Amino acid sequence: MSTRRIGVIGGGIVGLAVARELGRRDPDAEVVVLEKEGRVGAHQTGHNSGVVHAGIYYRPGSLKAALCTRGRALLRDYCAERGLPYDECGKLVVAVDPGELGRLDALERTARENGVPGLRRVAGAGIAEVEPHAVGLAALHSPATATTDFVAVARAYADDVVAAGGQVRLSTRVTGIRRTATGVSVATPAGSHRFDRLVVCAGLQSDRVSRLADGRDGPRIVPFRGEYLTVTAAKRDQVSGMVYPVPDPRYPFLGVHFTRRVSGELEVGPNAVLALRREGYQRRDVSAVDVRDLVAWPGFWRMARTHWRTGLTELRGSLSVAAYMRTASRYVPAIGPSDVVRAGAGVRAQAVDRDGSLVDDFRIGHEDGITTVRNAPSPAATSSLAIAEHVVERMESHA
């Protein structure tokens, strides 16, 4: 009897978590990860703020809510087992205007329904007891919100895949996918691979690679660059954990915030600026192919017509550190434009439907031996082990 071969396209944290779970569930299977870059975690995994979310924001009953809650606990235990950094430094979500208090109330109801551990409401005077330099009218304190090094976690997942007898093939770009009488054939520049089952976890390229598999056009990825500032050493101790704004419920983005990294650095960001290249981490990065894809998607224009004012505000913050910090300094006034320097950036793979709506929940499909993860933005890294469980269980149920 031949060994069952399962392919996973994508060596980011979600693809590697799925490959690891496949190896755990079926030790006799041969699991092969195909990653186009020369290292794992090269894009979204390696360009985020490292926050391990506790489930404050996500609609109760959604995949995000369920998988974030379970994923955080699984990730915490995994980091402890593997000796990976994991710092429960806690988070404050702060309302600074009276108009935000109703949204804070709604957020508290969501967080409590999601079972966020240790959550408590903090009055304005109590904010300084958690973060001495933060200000506001009221806040939610989430002591279980943590930070980690997601690239280190992804590498550990990859080690687990190999230790279980699987393969992680780097610098292997997928150029074609077709179903055959015996399974799925995946083409690469170095040749074809035959698999019995296939999982697509292609991140910023998820729509394109998924379309190779099932021919479906949508949702499309609209890339948003998130830029970070680093607080200088002299002001780094002004925030001990994280300070977040109350998010705008119209958007899946959480707003510019302060985050203590496991490295000890204090970051401000990210913003959310339309990117003209899917894997472009500088403002000057432009891809003609990516721009053509963007403008050809009706959902992009519908989204733009609805949200152009917010887009201009984000662009101003991108071009001016002073404008960027005007928002951030409302929460920690002691840190201003002269206390930060420009740092790195990430690109968020934001799926947008044909009608222009921003896809908020994880979107995962299964058909004829192929599983496609079409939308897995934050908190996908937090949820990676739980997403892997969900994907593999669904694959087994569709076998």
Q: Report how many domains make up the chain.
A: 3
| Residues 187 and 308 occupy one common structural domain | no
Q: Are 227 and 202 in a shared domain?
A: no
In a domain, 70, yes or no: no
How far, in Å, CA of 98 to CA of 155, rounded?
Answer: 45
Let me know whether 212 and 224 are in one domain. Answer: no
Q: Is residue 83 part of a domain?
A: no
- Answer yes or no: do 273 and 347 share one domain: yes
Same structural domain for residues 288 and 350?
Answer: yes
321 and 258 assigned to the same domain: yes
Report yes or no on 69 lying in a domain: no
pLDDT bracket for residue 1 (50, 70, 90): very low
CATH (domain of 380) = 3.50.50.60
Residue 274 and residue 159 share a domain: no
Measured distance CA(8)–CA(364) in Å, rounded: 14
CA distance 14 to 27: 20
The pTM (predicted TM-score) of the whole model is: 0.96
Same domain, yes or no: 41 and 111: no
Report if residue 193 sits inside a domain.
yes
pLDDT tens by residue, 9-52: 999 999 999 999 999 999 999 999 999 999 999 999 999 999 99
Q: Is the pLDDT of residue 121 over 60?
A: yes
- Are residues 192 and 233 both part of a single domain? no
Predicted confidence band at 304 (pLDDT cuts at 50, 70, 90)?
very high
pLDDT in tens, 77-110: 999 999 999 999 999 999 999 999 999 999 999 9
- Which residues have CB under 8 Å from 71's CB, separation 6+? 379, 382, 383, 384, 385, 386, 387
Distant-in-sequence, close-in-space partners of 140: CB < 8 Å, separation ≥ 6: 56, 92, 93, 104, 107, 108, 111, 119, 120, 121, 122
Q: Is position 189 within any domain?
A: yes
User: Is 159 found in the same domain as 37?
Assistant: yes
Evaluate if residue 332 carries a pLDDT over 90.
yes
**Pair 184, 211 in one domain:** yes
- 3-class DSSP state of 85: coil
Per the structure, the complete domain to which residue 293 belongs is given by 220-239+253-358
pLDDT higher than 50, residue 211: yes
